[in-house]
């Protein structure tokens, strides 16, 4: 493994969530202090939302000037805006509604009741990304991108052996054939995700062990999308002990 990828193993899910939340607060505070702003891309799922809740509960939560943080999402379910299934609804409940963050800094995907069709919604989010274009790219380069990993190795809503994982021209795609319900979704594409300075993949549970092992063993990203997640500066797999079962000891970092 090169220095670009690291695996950090924590004893259990609770320890994992606490450690990632603390690291996120520290890094985001540093980014804002150094650069005056930060763009972060969030994920959903039990662990992803657990991290956000831990951030919200942290005594150091207000060490970050949240007015200088922009929040995005890697993917979203095509359901109504008030649905508990939406990643952004869960993130708001867990953290965002507890912060002093301007509404215009929270960039949620359109919802199914927004008046837009699925393709129109993908185009609308692509335009929103383009408003913050960076260095000739039609989207911002995120400072931190969180990704969950499914048991099948999927990231965002980019699934194995589906057209979405191969998309390189569009920044946002409409997904109509998700093998995981609901079938209709919106997702950033791999080039957008991989333009991030730091990609933090956070996963827990024995059902993720095989996908993690394959991703680190050099599997094709079209077959195991998590294998294709590579941040420009660093890619870190934050995992619990159960998820690390198939990771060779030589690939496990002792510190960040």
Q: What does the angle CA 45 – CA 145 – CA 88 come to, to the nearest 5 degrees?
A: 45
Q: How far apart are the first and last CA of the chain?
A: 14
Note the pLDDT tens digit of each residue in 218-254.
Answer: 899 999 999 999 999 999 999 999 999 999 777 787 6
Starting at the edge strand found earlier in the chain, the sheet holding 75-77 runs: 75-77, 185-188, 172-175
The answer to whether 208 and 151 have CB atoms below 8 angstroms apart is yes
Each residue of 33-66: pLDDT tens digit?
Answer: 999 999 999 999 999 999 999 999 999 999 999 9
> Do residues 36 and 4 lie in contact, with contact meaning Cβ atoms separated by under 8 Å?
no
Residue 38 dihedral angles phi and psi, to the nearest 5°: -150, 140
pLDDT digits (tens, 9 = 90+) for 83-128: 999 999 999 999 999 999 999 999 999 999 999 999 999 999 999 9
Q: pLDDT category, 256, cuts 50, 70, 90?
A: low
Q: Tell me: the pLDDT tens digits for 198-209?
A: 999 999 999 999
Distance CA 10, CA 29 (A): 23
Let me know: does 58 contact 99? Beta carbons within 8 Å. Answer: no
**C-alpha–C-alpha distance, residues 125 and 89, integer Å:** 17
The C-alpha atoms of residue 9 and residue 249 are separated, in whole angstroms, by: 10
**Is residue 8 over pLDDT 60?**
yes
Residue closest to 99 by CA, chosen among 57, 51, 146: 57
Report pTM.
Answer: 0.95
């Amino acid at each position: 493994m090169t220095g670009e990828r690291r695996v950090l193993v924590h004893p259990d899910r609770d320890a994992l969530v606490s450690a990632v939340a603390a690291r996120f607060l520290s890094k985001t505070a540093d980014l804002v202090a150094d650069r005056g702003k930060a763009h972060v891309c969030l994920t959903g799922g039990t662990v992803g939302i657990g991290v956000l809740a831990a951030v919200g509960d942290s005594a150091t939560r207000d060490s970050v000037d949240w007015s200088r943080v922009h929040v995005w999402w890697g993917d979203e379910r095509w359901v109504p805006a008030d649905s508990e299934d939406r990643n952004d609804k869960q993130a708001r409940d867990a953290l965002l509604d507890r912060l002093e963050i301007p509404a215009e800094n929270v960039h949620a995907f359109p919802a199914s009741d927004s008046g837009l069709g699925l393709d129109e919604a993908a185009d609308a989010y692509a335009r929103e990304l383009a408003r913050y274009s960076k260095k000739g790219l039609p989207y911002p380069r995120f400072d931190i991108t969180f990704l969950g990993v499914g048991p099948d190795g999927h990231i965002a809503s980019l699934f194995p052996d589906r057209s979405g994982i191969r998309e390189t021209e569009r920044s946002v795609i409409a997904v109509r054939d998700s093998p995981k319900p609901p079938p209709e979704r919106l997702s950033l594409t791999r080039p957008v995700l991989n333009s991030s300075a730091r990609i933090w993949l956070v996963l827990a549970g024995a059902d993720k062990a095989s996908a993690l092992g394959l991703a680190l063993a050099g599997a094709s990203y079209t077959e195991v999308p998590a294998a294709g997640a590579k941040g420009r500066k660093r890619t870190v797999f934050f995992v619990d002990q159960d998820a690390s079962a198939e990771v060779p000891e030589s690939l496990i970092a002792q510190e960040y």
